[in-house]
């Protein structure tokens, strides 16, 4: 209790507070939950300036493998370290460590965790920790993992095994450190704020990918919360449902068709779709409410499920899947209605590739960590020039970006605006999956694109949305690294028009509430709102449209759930 929440001062008041907190803990939590929280925080060693806390991190540190893969001998060694990590250090004092391990083995036999024969077999073995240089912190293991994979893809093994090969990468150490810090601090804050109710203590994981918008060069890769330990690279290998991150593909299909504009009214009423198997699909909004008729850009900004599903069904699922592939997703995507709401599992790296195409105005470029490879005589083996291919009409992507900027201005990511530097215009999308198992945010500024995923390796519930989990980490990262706001020149085939958000008609800059909205040429509103004159748009009618503002109410703000306050503040007050 003292190590978790209190100081080390020796006073009566602190002792009484510790006693009261212990009583409250035992009343509210089972012994199993308290033990689990303790095991996730107990000090088990020191790696340079970094303390090793918790059995999960210690498993990586001593054995270079996750906690779920260690055997009884290794469990016994870790348990033995609890008594004194320095005194029983298996590298400096292997005999002490072995004797302590054997003591724990005897206790495991007494408690029927293992049998006597297994314990005796283990006693004949050395402590079995990994090599010290392997266990020590490494710089950027997740990024180097990507480099190795891309080298193996492009070169035969005999070339890679030759001496003197030099590889120049796009790694930006400052961006890498900022990404690691943003993820670690966000996970720590979430677990702290959720307190000792404990379900998230040590269970959360995450991943980050950062690229350069203009080239697709990978600047940073974070494969997990313990970013300096090589292991499972979640940025490259964790295939997770992306949820609402897939919605931009639906809206892009609609905008690209010319049948819809950003001001088109969408029906956000209940949806019921009967599939070929007879089952009925009924998606619901996150807030479990219907929002009536909403403008298309608002439906995406507020991440409404019902209007998005209806839009995707109207466009045709095959067309939506085609857009997903053109954005850069190479794996098979099921042509099912649920794909409109993100029932697709992708890695953070794949998501970054998809959003890279959007950030590049519809031009796809493969993400690469390697700039150049040179042989031992300083001759280039291969240069990696920027390869660009237009996949989506730039004009349609420009319209989509308007809505993605609105996500941050007034939508589900609006909380980021206060934490970003003034003037840093960004665009992006939150993502939350069923039962809040995965929290995503993908977004970009003028120079950087970043994707953040937060979740659990066991696919457990996190109670986090995209806005309460991944978004704060993304915001902290971009605030520390990005310097260029998002500025986009109006592409050919697009006209910018002042419109009245209520009626959808042509308006003027001086009219209350008017906003400047891009349209594909030929899809601009054909009528004028009352504030403006008909001359603002050739051929427009000054008569008000049949659907007035009351027919398109401003959607109710969806409130993202906030993490509860720390329980001891509620009981005892203080900071």
Got the DSSP string for 517-545? EEEETT-S-SBB-TTS-GGGSTT-B-SPP
Architecture of the domain whose range is 207-481: 3-Layer(aba) Sandwich (3.40)
What is the bridge-based pairing of β-strands 515-520 and 494-499?
Answer: antiparallel
Residue 173 is predicted with a pLDDT of: 92
Outline where DSSP puts E strands in 25-87.
43-47, 50-53
What would the two tokens of residue 258 be?
Answer: 């010319």
DSSP structure class, residue 217: B
pLDDT band of residue 179 (cuts 50, 70, 90) is very high
In this predicted model, which residue has the larger pLDDT, 89 or 248? 248
Domain ranges in the chain are 40-135, 207-481
Residue 281 is predicted with a pLDDT of: 95
In this predicted model, which residue has the larger pLDDT, 327 or 32? 327
Most confident of 20-29, 273-282, 374-383, 398-407: 398-407
pLDDT at 426 over 80: yes
Q: Would the pTM of this model clear 0.95, i.e. be above it? A: no
CA 560 vs CA 139, 172, 221: distances in Å? 36, 33, 28
Helix, strand, coil percentages for the chain (3-state, nearest 5):
40, 15, 45
- Model confidence over 345-393: pLDDT tens digits? 999 999 999 999 999 999 998 999 998 888 777 777 776 666 788 999 9
What would the two tokens of residue 381 be?
Answer: 């083996």
77 burial via Cβ count (<10 Å: 0-12, 13-18, 19+): buried
What would the two tokens of residue 14 be?
Answer: 């602190």
pLDDT band of residue 167 (cuts 50, 70, 90) is confident
Residue 134 is predicted with a pLDDT of: 45
**Backbone phi, then psi, for 169, in 5-degree steps?**
-115, 170
DSSP structure class, residue 558: P
CB atoms near residue 574 (< 10 Å): 8
How many whole angstroms separate alpha carbon 380 and alpha carbon 401?
A: 39
- Model confidence over 73-129: pLDDT tens digits? 999 999 999 999 988 999 888 999 999 999 999 999 999 999 999 999 999 999 888
How many whole angstroms separate alpha carbon 478 and alpha carbon 493?
A: 32
Residue 69 is predicted with a pLDDT of: 83
* DSSP helix/strand/coil, 262: coil
Structural contact between residues 360 and 398, judged by C-beta atoms closer than 8 angstroms: no
Residue 22 is predicted with a pLDDT of: 66
What is the DSSP secondary-structure string of 177-206? HHHHHHHHHHHHHHHHHHGGG-TTTTTEEE
Outline where DSSP puts E strands in 323-456.
345-346, 363-364, 370-374, 380-383, 389-390, 427-432, 438-444, 448-456
* DSSP helix/strand/coil, 323: helix
CATH fold group of domain 40-135:
Penicillin binding protein transpeptidase fold (1.10.3810)
What would the two tokens of residue 102 be?
Answer: 């054997």
Structural contact between residues 148 and 157, judged by C-beta atoms closer than 8 angstroms: no
Q: Is 237 left (phi over 0), alpha (psi -120 to 50) or beta?
A: alpha
CA 348 vs CA 238, 354, 399, 556: distances in Å? 7, 10, 25, 31
Closest to 234 in 3D by CA, of 145, 136, 365, 341: 145
Percent of the chain with pLDDT over 90: 61
């Amino acid at each position: 209790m003292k190590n978790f929440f209190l100081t080390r001062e020796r006073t009566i008041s602190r002792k009484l507070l510790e006693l009261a907190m212990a009583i409250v803990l035992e009343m509210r939590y089972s012994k199993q939950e308290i033990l689990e929280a303790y095991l996730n925080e107990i000090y088990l060693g020191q790696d340079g300036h970094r303390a090793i806390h918790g059995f999960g991190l210690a498993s990586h540190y001593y054995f270079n493998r996750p906690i779920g893969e260690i055997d009884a001998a290794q469990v016994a060694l870790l348990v033995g370290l609890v008594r004194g990590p320095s005194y029983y250090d298996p590298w400096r004092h292997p005999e002490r460590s072995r004797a302590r391990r054997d003591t724990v083995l005897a206790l495991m036999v007494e408690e029927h965790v293992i049998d006597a024969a297994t314990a005796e077999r283990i006693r004949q073995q050395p402590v079995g920790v990994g090599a010290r240089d392997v266990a020590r912190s490494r710089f950027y293991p997740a990024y180097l993992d990507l480099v190795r994979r891309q080298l193996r893809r492009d070169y035969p093994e005999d070339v890679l095994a030759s001496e003197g090969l030099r590889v120049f990468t796009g790694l930006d150490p400052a961006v890498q450190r900022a990404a690691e810090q943003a993820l670690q601090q966000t996970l720590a804050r979430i677990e702290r704020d959720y307190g000792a109710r404990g379900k998230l203590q040590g269970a959360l994981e995450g991943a980050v990918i950062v690229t350069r918008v203009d080239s697709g060069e990978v600047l940073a890769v974070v494969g997990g919360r313990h970013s300096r330990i090589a292991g499972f690279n979640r940025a490259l290998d964790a295939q997770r449902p992306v949820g609402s991150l897939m919605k931009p593909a639906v809206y892009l299909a609609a905008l690209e068709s010319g049948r819809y504009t950003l001001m088109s009214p969408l029906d956000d009423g209940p949806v019921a779709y009967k599939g070929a198997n007879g089952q009925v699909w009924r998606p619901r909004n996150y807030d479990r409410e219907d929002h009536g008729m909403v403008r298309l850009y608002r439906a995406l900004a507020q991440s409404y499920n019902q209007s998005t599903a209806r839009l995707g069904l109207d466009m045709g699922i095959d067309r939506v899947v085609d857009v997903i592939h053109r954005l850069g997703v190479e794996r098979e995507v099921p042509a099912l209605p649920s794909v409109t709401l993100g029932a697709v599992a992708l890695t953070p790296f794949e998501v970054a590739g998809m959003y890279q195409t959007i950030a590049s105005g519809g031009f796809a470029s493969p993400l690469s960590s390697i700039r150049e490879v040179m042989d031992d005589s300083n001759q280039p083996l291969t240069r990696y020039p920027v390869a660009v291919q237009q996949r989506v009409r730039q004009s349609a992507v420009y319209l989509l970006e308007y809505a993605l900027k609105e996500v941050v201005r007034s939508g589900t990511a609006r909380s980021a605006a206060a934490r970003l530097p003034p003037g840093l215009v960004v665009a992006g999308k939150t993502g939350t999956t069923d039962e809040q198992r995965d929290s995503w945010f993908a977004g970009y500024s003028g120079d950087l694109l970043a994707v953040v995923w937060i979740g659990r390796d066991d696919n457990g519930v996190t109670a986090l949305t995209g806005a309460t989990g991944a978004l704060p980490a993304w915001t902290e990262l971009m605030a520390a690294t990005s310097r260029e706001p998002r500025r986009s020149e109006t592409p050919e085939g697009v006209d910018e028009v002042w419109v009245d958000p209520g009626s959808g008609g042509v308006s003027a800059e001086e009219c209350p509430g008017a906003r400047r909205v891009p349209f594909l040429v030929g899809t601009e509103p054909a009528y004028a709102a009352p504030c403006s004159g008909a001359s603002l748009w050739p051929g427009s009618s000054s008569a008000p449209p049949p659907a007035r503002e009351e027919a398109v109410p401003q959607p109710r703000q969806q409130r993202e759930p906030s993490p509860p306050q720390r329980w001891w503040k509620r009981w005892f007050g203080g900071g």
